[in-house]
Amino acid sequence: MILLLIVIACSSTPQGEGQWVVIWADEFRGASGEPPDPSRWTYDVGGDGWGNGQLEYNTDRVENAAQNGDGVLEIVARKEDYEGNAYTSARIKTDGLFEHGYGRFEARIRVPEGKGLWPAFWMLGAEFNDIGWPWCGEVDILEMKGEAPETIYGTIHGPGYSGSGGISGGLTLDDGAFSDGYHNYAVEIDEGHIAWLVDDVVYQRITAADLPADATWVNDDPFFLILNLAVGGNYVAAPDETTELPATMKVDWVRVSERAW
Protein backbone atom coordinates (compact mmCIF):
# COMPACT_ATOMS: atom_id res chain seq x y z
CA MET A 1 0.00 0.00 0.00
CA ILE A 2 1.46 3.33 -1.03
CA LEU A 3 2.02 6.01 1.57
CA LEU A 4 1.31 9.37 -0.07
CA LEU A 5 1.81 12.67 1.70
CA ILE A 6 1.11 16.00 0.02
CA VAL A 7 2.69 18.69 2.15
CA ILE A 8 3.79 22.30 2.06
CA ALA A 9 7.49 22.76 2.84
CA CYS A 10 8.57 24.11 6.19
CA SER A 11 11.96 24.78 7.69
CA SER A 12 13.56 21.77 9.32
CA THR A 13 16.96 20.92 10.71
CA PRO A 14 18.78 18.26 8.63
CA GLN A 15 20.04 15.17 10.39
CA GLY A 16 23.55 15.66 11.69
CA GLU A 17 25.69 18.78 11.61
CA GLY A 18 28.52 20.08 9.50
CA GLN A 19 28.83 21.63 6.08
CA TRP A 20 28.73 19.85 2.74
CA VAL A 21 31.80 19.35 0.54
CA VAL A 22 31.26 18.56 -3.16
CA ILE A 23 33.07 15.36 -4.21
CA TRP A 24 31.59 14.92 -7.72
CA ALA A 25 29.84 17.31 -10.07
CA ASP A 26 28.91 18.07 -13.64
CA GLU A 27 28.30 21.72 -14.53
CA PHE A 28 27.61 20.91 -18.24
CA ARG A 29 30.05 23.47 -19.60
CA GLY A 30 30.56 21.75 -22.95
CA ALA A 31 30.05 23.37 -26.32
CA SER A 32 26.64 23.64 -27.92
CA GLY A 33 25.57 20.30 -29.36
CA GLU A 34 28.10 18.24 -27.41
CA PRO A 35 26.76 15.09 -25.73
CA PRO A 36 27.01 14.66 -21.95
CA ASP A 37 30.59 14.08 -20.76
CA PRO A 38 31.26 10.36 -21.48
CA SER A 39 33.61 10.18 -18.47
CA ARG A 40 30.60 10.95 -16.26
CA TRP A 41 27.54 9.67 -18.12
CA THR A 42 26.43 6.72 -20.18
CA TYR A 43 23.01 5.82 -21.63
CA ASP A 44 20.13 3.41 -21.29
CA VAL A 45 19.09 2.73 -24.89
CA GLY A 46 15.87 1.04 -25.93
CA GLY A 47 12.12 1.31 -26.20
CA ASP A 48 10.49 -1.70 -24.56
CA GLY A 49 8.53 0.34 -22.00
CA TRP A 50 11.15 0.14 -19.23
CA GLY A 51 8.78 -1.89 -17.06
CA ASN A 52 6.37 1.04 -16.79
CA GLY A 53 4.63 1.09 -20.16
CA GLN A 54 6.63 4.12 -21.30
CA LEU A 55 6.11 5.09 -24.93
CA GLU A 56 9.48 6.57 -25.87
CA TYR A 57 12.60 5.04 -27.36
CA ASN A 58 15.58 6.29 -25.36
CA THR A 59 18.53 7.02 -27.64
CA ASP A 60 22.15 8.06 -27.31
CA ARG A 61 21.72 10.79 -29.96
CA VAL A 62 22.49 14.47 -29.40
CA GLU A 63 18.99 15.16 -30.71
CA ASN A 64 17.76 13.81 -27.37
CA ALA A 65 20.55 14.76 -24.95
CA ALA A 66 23.08 17.52 -25.50
CA GLN A 67 24.72 20.48 -23.82
CA ASN A 68 23.54 23.88 -25.05
CA GLY A 69 26.76 25.88 -24.73
CA ASP A 70 25.37 27.97 -21.85
CA GLY A 71 26.08 25.52 -19.02
CA VAL A 72 22.88 23.49 -19.37
CA LEU A 73 22.19 19.89 -20.37
CA GLU A 74 18.98 19.53 -22.39
CA ILE A 75 17.11 16.22 -22.44
CA VAL A 76 14.56 16.47 -25.24
CA ALA A 77 11.48 14.32 -25.84
CA ARG A 78 10.34 14.32 -29.46
CA LYS A 79 7.35 12.97 -31.34
CA GLU A 80 8.86 10.87 -34.13
CA ASP A 81 8.65 7.30 -35.35
CA TYR A 82 11.83 5.58 -34.21
CA GLU A 83 12.57 1.86 -33.85
CA GLY A 84 8.88 1.04 -33.52
CA ASN A 85 8.12 3.80 -30.98
CA ALA A 86 6.16 7.00 -31.52
CA TYR A 87 8.44 9.15 -29.37
CA THR A 88 12.14 9.51 -28.56
CA SER A 89 13.95 10.85 -25.51
CA ALA A 90 17.07 10.08 -23.44
CA ARG A 91 17.96 8.43 -20.16
CA ILE A 92 21.50 9.04 -18.93
CA LYS A 93 23.20 7.47 -15.92
CA THR A 94 26.49 7.23 -14.04
CA ASP A 95 26.31 3.42 -13.82
CA GLY A 96 29.85 2.01 -13.96
CA LEU A 97 31.37 5.49 -13.80
CA PHE A 98 30.34 6.90 -10.43
CA GLU A 99 28.48 5.65 -7.39
CA HIS A 100 28.26 6.89 -3.82
CA GLY A 101 26.65 6.11 -0.48
CA TYR A 102 25.85 8.49 2.37
CA GLY A 103 25.74 12.12 1.32
CA ARG A 104 23.77 14.79 -0.50
CA PHE A 105 22.67 14.20 -4.10
CA GLU A 106 21.36 17.32 -5.82
CA ALA A 107 20.53 18.80 -9.22
CA ARG A 108 19.24 22.16 -10.41
CA ILE A 109 16.53 21.38 -12.95
CA ARG A 110 13.76 23.06 -14.91
CA VAL A 111 11.10 20.46 -15.65
CA PRO A 112 8.75 20.63 -18.65
CA GLU A 113 4.99 20.38 -18.27
CA GLY A 114 2.48 18.68 -20.53
CA LYS A 115 0.16 15.73 -20.45
CA GLY A 116 2.09 12.47 -20.53
CA LEU A 117 5.53 13.94 -19.71
CA TRP A 118 7.44 12.33 -16.83
CA PRO A 119 10.69 14.08 -15.88
CA ALA A 120 12.81 12.36 -13.23
CA PHE A 121 16.06 12.59 -11.29
CA TRP A 122 16.65 9.34 -9.40
CA MET A 123 19.10 6.66 -8.29
CA LEU A 124 19.45 2.90 -8.36
CA GLY A 125 21.58 0.81 -6.04
CA ALA A 126 25.02 0.07 -7.47
CA GLU A 127 24.29 -3.67 -7.22
CA PHE A 128 21.41 -3.36 -9.71
CA ASN A 129 23.18 -5.38 -12.40
CA ASP A 130 24.00 -8.16 -9.92
CA ILE A 131 20.92 -8.55 -7.76
CA GLY A 132 18.24 -6.68 -9.73
CA TRP A 133 15.36 -4.45 -8.75
CA PRO A 134 13.91 -3.84 -6.18
CA TRP A 135 16.53 -5.61 -4.04
CA CYS A 136 19.17 -3.08 -5.10
CA GLY A 137 17.02 -0.19 -3.86
CA GLU A 138 15.74 2.90 -5.67
CA VAL A 139 15.57 6.52 -4.49
CA ASP A 140 13.49 8.90 -6.59
CA ILE A 141 14.77 12.39 -5.84
CA LEU A 142 12.36 14.11 -8.23
CA GLU A 143 9.41 12.90 -10.25
CA MET A 144 6.66 15.04 -11.72
CA LYS A 145 3.50 14.22 -13.64
CA GLY A 146 3.46 16.61 -16.58
CA GLU A 147 -0.30 17.06 -16.36
CA ALA A 148 0.04 18.29 -12.75
CA PRO A 149 3.17 20.49 -12.68
CA GLU A 150 2.33 22.08 -9.34
CA THR A 151 3.35 18.90 -7.46
CA ILE A 152 6.59 16.92 -7.30
CA TYR A 153 7.26 13.61 -5.55
CA GLY A 154 10.06 11.81 -3.76
CA THR A 155 9.89 8.02 -3.30
CA ILE A 156 11.84 4.96 -2.20
CA HIS A 157 11.44 1.44 -3.55
CA GLY A 158 12.86 -1.76 -2.13
CA PRO A 159 11.90 -5.33 -1.25
CA GLY A 160 8.44 -5.16 0.28
CA TYR A 161 7.74 -1.59 -0.90
CA SER A 162 8.22 -1.48 -4.67
CA GLY A 163 6.16 -0.33 -7.62
CA SER A 164 2.82 1.11 -6.49
CA GLY A 165 3.83 0.16 -2.94
CA GLY A 166 6.74 2.59 -2.89
CA ILE A 167 6.88 4.94 0.10
CA SER A 168 6.29 8.39 -1.29
CA GLY A 169 5.61 11.99 -0.38
CA GLY A 170 4.85 15.05 -2.43
CA LEU A 171 5.27 18.81 -2.32
CA THR A 172 2.58 21.04 -3.82
CA LEU A 173 3.16 24.72 -4.52
CA ASP A 174 0.62 27.22 -3.22
CA ASP A 175 0.98 29.30 -6.38
CA GLY A 176 2.48 28.45 -9.75
CA ALA A 177 4.15 25.32 -11.10
CA PHE A 178 7.56 23.74 -10.80
CA SER A 179 7.87 24.06 -14.57
CA ASP A 180 7.88 27.86 -14.24
CA GLY A 181 11.60 27.92 -13.42
CA TYR A 182 14.65 26.15 -12.05
CA HIS A 183 14.60 24.50 -8.63
CA ASN A 184 17.20 22.60 -6.62
CA TYR A 185 16.08 19.01 -5.92
CA ALA A 186 18.05 17.00 -3.38
CA VAL A 187 18.16 14.09 -0.99
CA GLU A 188 20.39 13.76 2.04
CA ILE A 189 21.08 10.14 2.96
CA ASP A 190 22.39 9.07 6.36
CA GLU A 191 22.26 5.67 8.02
CA GLY A 192 18.62 4.55 8.13
CA HIS A 193 17.38 8.02 7.12
CA ILE A 194 16.62 10.00 3.94
CA ALA A 195 15.48 13.64 3.73
CA TRP A 196 14.05 15.23 0.57
CA LEU A 197 14.61 18.93 -0.10
CA VAL A 198 13.50 21.51 -2.64
CA ASP A 199 15.52 24.74 -2.70
CA ASP A 200 17.23 23.70 0.57
CA VAL A 201 13.95 23.20 2.46
CA VAL A 202 13.15 19.71 3.78
CA TYR A 203 9.65 18.56 2.83
CA GLN A 204 9.83 14.85 3.65
CA ARG A 205 11.77 12.38 5.77
CA ILE A 206 11.66 8.58 5.58
CA THR A 207 13.47 6.29 8.00
CA ALA A 208 13.95 2.55 8.29
CA ALA A 209 11.24 2.58 10.97
CA ASP A 210 8.69 3.75 8.35
CA LEU A 211 8.94 0.57 6.29
CA PRO A 212 6.11 -1.97 6.19
CA ALA A 213 6.45 -5.05 8.38
CA ASP A 214 8.96 -7.57 6.98
CA ALA A 215 10.31 -5.04 4.44
CA THR A 216 14.05 -4.43 4.17
CA TRP A 217 15.86 -1.08 4.25
CA VAL A 218 18.31 -1.13 1.32
CA ASN A 219 19.38 2.51 1.22
CA ASP A 220 22.68 2.38 3.11
CA ASP A 221 24.73 1.19 0.12
CA PRO A 222 26.07 3.21 -2.86
CA PHE A 223 23.81 4.41 -5.67
CA PHE A 224 24.34 5.62 -9.23
CA LEU A 225 22.50 8.63 -10.68
CA ILE A 226 19.90 8.75 -13.47
CA LEU A 227 18.32 11.67 -15.37
CA ASN A 228 15.52 11.09 -17.86
CA LEU A 229 12.41 12.48 -19.48
CA ALA A 230 9.86 9.73 -20.17
CA VAL A 231 6.76 9.97 -22.33
CA GLY A 232 3.68 8.12 -21.13
CA GLY A 233 3.68 5.15 -18.80
CA ASN A 234 1.66 3.89 -15.88
CA TYR A 235 2.68 6.82 -13.65
CA VAL A 236 1.29 9.57 -15.90
CA ALA A 237 -1.56 10.18 -18.32
CA ALA A 238 -1.05 9.39 -21.99
CA PRO A 239 0.11 12.31 -24.14
CA ASP A 240 -2.52 13.82 -26.43
CA GLU A 241 -2.97 16.72 -28.84
CA THR A 242 -2.44 19.21 -25.99
CA THR A 243 1.09 17.90 -25.29
CA GLU A 244 3.65 20.25 -26.79
CA LEU A 245 6.60 18.42 -28.31
CA PRO A 246 9.54 18.70 -28.49
CA ALA A 247 9.64 19.11 -24.70
CA THR A 248 12.87 19.82 -22.83
CA MET A 249 14.12 18.99 -19.35
CA LYS A 250 16.93 21.44 -18.54
CA VAL A 251 19.67 20.50 -16.07
CA ASP A 252 21.92 23.31 -14.86
CA TRP A 253 24.17 21.10 -12.74
CA VAL A 254 24.39 17.87 -10.74
CA ARG A 255 26.43 17.61 -7.52
CA VAL A 256 27.20 14.96 -4.92
CA SER A 257 28.53 16.05 -1.54
CA GLU A 258 29.76 14.55 1.73
CA ARG A 259 29.45 16.03 5.20
CA ALA A 260 32.53 17.88 6.53
CA TRP A 261 32.43 17.40 10.27
Is 244 a known active-site residue?
Answer: no
β-pairing, 56-58 with 201-207?
A: unpaired
Is 138 a known active-site residue?
Answer: yes
How far is Cα 245 from Cα 75, in angstroms, rounded to an integer? 12
Q: How far is CA 207 from CA 156, 163, 210, 218, 256, in A?
A: 10, 18, 5, 11, 21
Please, are residues 258 and 101 in contact by the beta-carbon 8 Å criterion? no
Instruction: Given the residues 74, 143, 147, 150, select the one marked as catalytic.
Output: 143
- Under the phi-then-psi rule, with left for phi > 0, alpha for psi from -120 to 50, and beta for the rest, what region is 40? alpha
Residues 6+ apart with CB under 8 A from 256: 22, 23, 24, 25, 98, 100, 103, 104, 105, 106, 225
Q: Which of 78, 51, 12, 247 is nearest to 138 (CA)?
A: 51
How far is Cα 256 from Cα 97, in angstroms, rounded to an integer? 14
Query: Which residues, listed in sequence order, are joined to residue 77 by a DSSP beta bridge?
Result: 247
Please, are residues 198 and 152 in contact by the beta-carbon 8 Å criterion? yes
Instruction: Given the residues 138, 147, 150, 188, select the one marked as catalytic.
Output: 138
Length of the chain: 261
Q: Which residues are catalytic, by number?
A: 138, 143
